[in-house]
Structure 1
């Protein structure tokens, strides 16, 4: 469930941008991510989560660029940038060998399992599922940008993609445990 909380900055942005306040949405997303960074660094583990740090940088950089340039970007364009940035963050964590889901999985798994190849592989696969979800969302953003499909269809794609990734995140580790221990 904590993995869903990690997407709160994106939800703050989505709500503000849907109401027509893209720049405020970027600032709100950045501030929300900053709160998560403070939580991460002041918590018992003092561990920085890659997704939280990347989200803060993403929203902060976009907010600064839009504010300094005075550029007016459509909601669809800003959403495309934000979602593309998130997909890039996810792919970078996978390429670094530290999929973003590891930070959340470590909160639920015994420390002696953290270095196992199975733990890493499981998190890589779950992170790839989230990457696939955001690739679908970016396709929906681009469709919205070019008015290719109705807004309702785009909403279904976005919600369906996120829900699918979330359900997979819950199901996949359970299915591996059940396969390893059929009793």
Structure 2
């Protein structure tokens, strides 16, 4: 699934930053996000197909600056939660402006004649909302876990994996479900 590649900077950051090395995680995330955007733009992908990648560039640029200017920031232990806060904001924001972030990604694999179909748009609203909800729940859970036990690495990783795997599984399942339901009518 090409759309999931956009999450690579976030995933790599999660692995590197887990060891309390958030500066290198932020820098690595920024470099990967910039490379993804550059490669995607060169291949002709439109900006609406790269919402997550573009959001990653902004987030990791800000996080890199913060981590270099204030390496002992009180936000340091909350890096994993900050990622989900930002991703939740990106997803909810895309819904607020009526441009679900999954819409551009879905267009890459959907015939153009379906793009204006209200069902196609509604499906992407639902899929984006599932991602937004997962990011929101993860942000809250991670903030709670990290405030109680800043070194609960296994639990942090479990929350991160579940908050990605559950909406990814839903994203893979839901379009097929809609097709089966339409055929049953």
Cα contact 1:76–1:142 (8 A) shared by 2: no
Distance 1:18 1:140 in 2: 16
The total of aligned residue pairs comes to 182
Distance 2:20 2:153 in 1: 15
Distance 1:67 1:148 in 2: 25
Distance 1:92 1:100 in 2: 9
Partner residue of 2:171? 169
3-state SS in 2 of match to 1:181: helix
Partner residue of 2:59? 58
Deviates more, 1:55-64 or 1:157-166: 157-166
Deviates more, 1:90-99 or 1:73-82: 73-82
Query: TM-score normalised to the size of structure 1?
Result: 0.90
Cα distance change of structure 1 residues 25 and 94 upon mapping to structure 2, 3 Å threshold: same
Cα distance change of structure 1 residues 36 and 82 upon mapping to structure 2, 3 Å threshold: same
- Note the 1:32-51 alignment, pairs <5 A: 32-43=32-43, 45-48=44-47, 49-51=50-52
The structure carrying a bigger helix percent of its residues is 2
Cα contact 1:133–1:165 (8 A) shared by 2: yes
* Runs (5+) with no aligned partner, structure 2: none
Q: Kindly report the root-mean-square deviation, in angstroms, between the aligned alpha carbons of the 2 structures.
A: 2.0
Distance 1:76 1:181 in 2: 49
Kindly provide the CA deviation profile for residues 13-65 of structure 1, in whole angstroms up to 9, marking residues without a partner as x: 0111112210110111111110111012101x341212211111111112112
Aligned-pair distance for 1:68? 2.4
